[in-house]
């Protein structure tokens, strides 16, 4: 897998805005290295959990196979884990990607589709019990900002996706590239994947 990397974010009704657009801010800052698109239930507007809509470039069924998949969380995940058509599509489409990532409860969708079987993973700490129920064959890590296990990258809740995205940039292009992006978007990058005060706040450790 060589740059430019084709990255597609999965949209669905009730997706979490920052789960998608935090990481896309990172990858989009390197537009010569990442080609970014979004796939939704249909091409066109998809309503987020917060209300604003985003425009999907592709319908799920017609989305080209990407190099990198990004699956967000949000309240829409709760119904999708019981949608066999969506899960079958996600398993086949995302399973062929070189790298599969998730933010927040997006890891619950990956787990429900069988894409985290045999992997270590994490999720939003306020919804950690729910995410864990979706993947009994997954080794869930309660205290982690993000977890990388081979070609699977999963992050904790919402803003943690930015740290994971920077870590993925560092993995693919080198730390200097990640630091440059972090400075450009004026974020303090938590480089330690084990930095996670929210696990304790939510009684997980």
The predicted pLDDT at position 151 comes to 98
The pLDDT-based confidence of 118 (bands split at 50, 70, 90) is very high
Per the residue annotation, which of 18, 104, 115, 178 is the catalytic one?
104
Average pLDDT value for residue range 72-76:
98
Average pLDDT, the chain: 98
Please state the domain count of the chain: 1
Is-catalytic flag, 104?
A: yes
Q: What is the mean pLDDT of residues 116-123?
A: 98
Which three-class secondary structure string do you get for the chain?
Answer: CCCCEEEEEECCCCECHHHHHHHHHHHHCCCCCEEEEEEECCCEEEEECCCCEEEECEEHHHCCCCCEEEECCCCCHHHHCCCHHHHHHHHHHHHCCCEEEECCCHHHHHHHCCCCCCCEECCCHHHHHHHHHHCCCCEECCCCCEEEECCEEEECCCCHHHHHHHHHHHHHHCHHHHHHHHHHCCCCCCCCCCCCHHHHHCCCC
The C-alpha atoms of residue 33 and residue 73 are separated, in whole angstroms, by 25
Q: What are phi and psi of 136, to 5 degrees?
A: -65, -20
The arithmetic mean of pLDDT across residues 104-126, rounded, is 98
Q: What is the pLDDT of residue 162?
A: 98
Contact indicator for 42, 56 with CB cutoff of 8 Å: yes
pLDDT band at 83 (very low <50, low <70, confident <90, very high): very high
pLDDT of residue 67: 98
Q: What pLDDT was estimated at residue 143?
A: 98
Cβ(26)–Cβ(162) under 8 Å?
Answer: yes
Q: pLDDT class for 1, splitting at 50, 70, 90?
A: confident
**pLDDT average, residue stretch 30-43:** 98
Domain that holds residue 50: 5-201
Domain CATH code at residue 114? 3.40.50.880
pLDDT tens digits along 126-177:
999 999 999 999 999 999 999 999 999 999 999 999 999 999 999 999 999 9
pTM of the model: 0.98
Q: Which residues contact 181 (CB under 8 A, 6 or more apart)?
A: 26, 29, 30, 166, 169
């Amino acid at each position: 897998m060589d740059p430019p990397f084709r990255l597609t974010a999965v949209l669905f009704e009730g997706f979490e805005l920052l789960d998608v657009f935090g990481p896309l801010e990172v990858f989009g800052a390197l537009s010569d290295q990442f080609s970014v698109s979004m796939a939704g239930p249909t091409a066109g507007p998809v309503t987020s959990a917060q209300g604003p809509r985003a425009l999907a470039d592709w319908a799920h069924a017609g989305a080209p196979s990407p190099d990198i998949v990004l699956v967000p969380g949000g309240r829409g995940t709760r119904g999708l884990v019981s949608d066999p058509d969506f899960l079958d599509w996600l398993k086949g489409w995302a399973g062929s990607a070189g790298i599969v990532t998730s933010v927040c409860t997006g890891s619950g969708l990956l787990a429900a589709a069988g894409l985290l079987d045999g992997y270590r993973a994490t999720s939003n700490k306020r919804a950690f019990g729910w995410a864990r129920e979706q993947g009994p064959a997954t080794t869930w890590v309660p205290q982690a900002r993000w977890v990388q296990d081979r070609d699977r990258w999963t992050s904790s809740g919402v803003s943690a996706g930015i740290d994971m995205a920077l870590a993925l940039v560092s993995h693919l292009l080198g730390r200097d590239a990640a630091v440059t992006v972090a400075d450009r978007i004026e974020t303090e990058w938590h480089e330690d994947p084990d930095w996670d005060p929210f696990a304790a706040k939510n009684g997980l450790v």
